[in-house]
Chain A
Amino acid sequence: MILAAAYIWDFGLVLSYTHLWAKGLGVTLAYSVGTVVGGMIIGVICGLLLLVRSRWVTLPVHYYVEIFRCTPLLVQIVWFYYALPIVLQVELPDWFAAGLGLTLYMGAFATEIFRGGIISIDKGQWQASRALGMTGGELMRHIILPQATKRMVPPFVNQSIIQLKNTSLLYVVAIPDLMYTGSIIVSDTFRPLEVYTSVAIAYFVILYPLTLWAARLEARVDQ
């Protein structure tokens, strides 16, 4: 009690590290955008592969998705950062090795979102398109995807929000994101309360508007 009462908040010192904060924020945003875009590309490719009728194609994709859904992201990041270079016998740039786990993790969820969007389309749409004489590509492009993408957007935005938070795990491989930057400033100032509060506020300020936007998107799709 005495300790708490005696504590004098001082954000001034902590916030004076403007340059570091800006850099940390930039790294967080860069990894968020990069891994989301990368994951989305993986998701579209793997999602389409899941629609192929051959088990030789769908099974590997299925295992990829399940491996990344059923292991902790923290373990994935560490494994790709420290273990993969040993397996491959190559030097990977740090920034790349660090982002690999995050990207593949996002890719696994994006695959599920993409597949879910496609199979949510009524089977009557497929048979009507086929009966008209459309090929698989034509019915996908003109009939299924235009309807499915609308349904994929809200879960995709939600997953992207989670992904931005997940970039804070890069802390463990010393990538100078918002979180890691915070820890550096703490060691410099011995002000963990102000620093980590600031970190939390930064994440919140970015993500809260995004969640509001996601909710609006969802409402629009439900119409």
Chain B
Amino acid sequence: MTSSGEVMVKAEGLRKSYGTVEAVRGVSLEVDRGQVVVVIGPSGCGKSTFLRCINLLEEPSAGTLQVGDRRIDFGAHHGRQGRSMPHGRELARFRARIGMVFQQFDLFPHMTALQNVMSGPVIVKKMAKAEAETVARDLLAKVGLAALTHRFPRNLSGGQQQRVAIARAMAMAPEIMLFDEVTSALDPELVGEVLDVMKQLATDGTTMIVVTHEMAFARDVADQVLVMDAGQVVEQGRAEEVLLRPKNPRTASFLSRFHSTIGERKA
């Protein structure tokens, strides 16, 4: 949760449009090593699309994106000879440095928990199986699933599947982790176990960008909170500033729905 000042992700004026609809309309963000950034906002505000632009699951239409030392310019001004969006192996290599966890877990159903976690190192990094297994076992132990390594996803609860998915992303030793509403598809009683794992990662110094509706998590873990509405950042700042004393009326009205959650620790 501490930042060393080294910039891990820098987005400048990032835009994404689908035809005439602009889902992300000029978002800028700077994330330092070890920082946890939480992105909140109403459904459809473009926060997930913004997150998916960072590992290029979506191709931004304009703006600049820098991850580590790799900087990419998007948009028309770039001219036609400089292809801005990386392709093929170059794109794959770019994504390999960024971990991502999804709302629907998306574990590989034909692999056990252990094989899921090994998949990145073995398939992408061509790591020896024995070595990858050691890495995977350590990570599964870390997320509290040491006893369930040989279960297939269909025999795991939602919370367990999501913890495997986190371990799978971490197995690539990513420079940054992206979390896209990872607790939204879970039964309420399973949300806590996943958030606990994420809190642990944050404490360990993992750089994270988290899109979520869990306001208590934002309050407790975030270094920086970004509030998005209609594709734009409407408020940005330190968690307690934004969550407890929002300046923007739209943030205030959005947060009013969560006030019981945000305030609960203050008692």
Binding site for B on A (CB under 8 A): 122, 124-125, 127-136, 138, 142-143, 146-147
Contact = CB atoms under 8 A, between A and B. Distances in A.
Contact of B95 (A132, A142, A146, A147): A132
Contacts of B97: 133
B96 to A, nearest CB: 3
B124 A134 contact: yes
Interface in B101-129: 102, 104-110, 119-120, 123-124
Given A133-B93, A133-B172, A128 B102 contact: yes
A132 B116 CA distance: 11
21 contacts: A122-B106, A124-B105, A124-B106, A125-B108, A127-B57, A128-B106, A128-B107, A129-B108, A131-B98, A132-B95, A132-B124, A132-B169, A132-B172, A133-B94, A133-B97, A134-B92, A134-B124, A135-B92, A143-B119, A147-B108, A147-B109
A136 B124 contact: no
B171 to A, nearest CB: 9
Contacts of A142: 119, 123
Given A146-B110, A147-B110, A133 B102 contact: no
Given A127-B102, A131-B169, A138-B124, A143 B108 contact: yes
A127 B107 CA distance: 11
Contacts of B168: 132
B88 interface: yes
State the majority secondary structure of interface residues on A. helix
Contacts of B102: 124, 127-128, 131
Which range contains the number of B residues in contact with the other chain?
20 to 34
Contacts of A147: 108-110
A131 B100 contact: yes
B89 interface: yes
A188 B108 CA distance: 62
B123 A130 contact: no
B207 to A, nearest CB: 16
B35 interface: no
Nearest to B168: A132
A124 B185 CA distance: 14
B104 A133 contact: no
A127 B97 CA distance: 15
B55 interface: yes
A102 B106 CA distance: 40
Contacts of B120: 132-133
A119 B98 CA distance: 26
Contacts of B92: 130, 133-135, 138
Contacts of A130: 57, 92, 95
Nearest to A146: B110
A136 B93 CA distance: 12
Contacts of A131: 55, 57, 95, 98-100, 102, 169
Contacts of B100: 131
A130 to B, nearest CB: 6
A137 B110 CA distance: 18
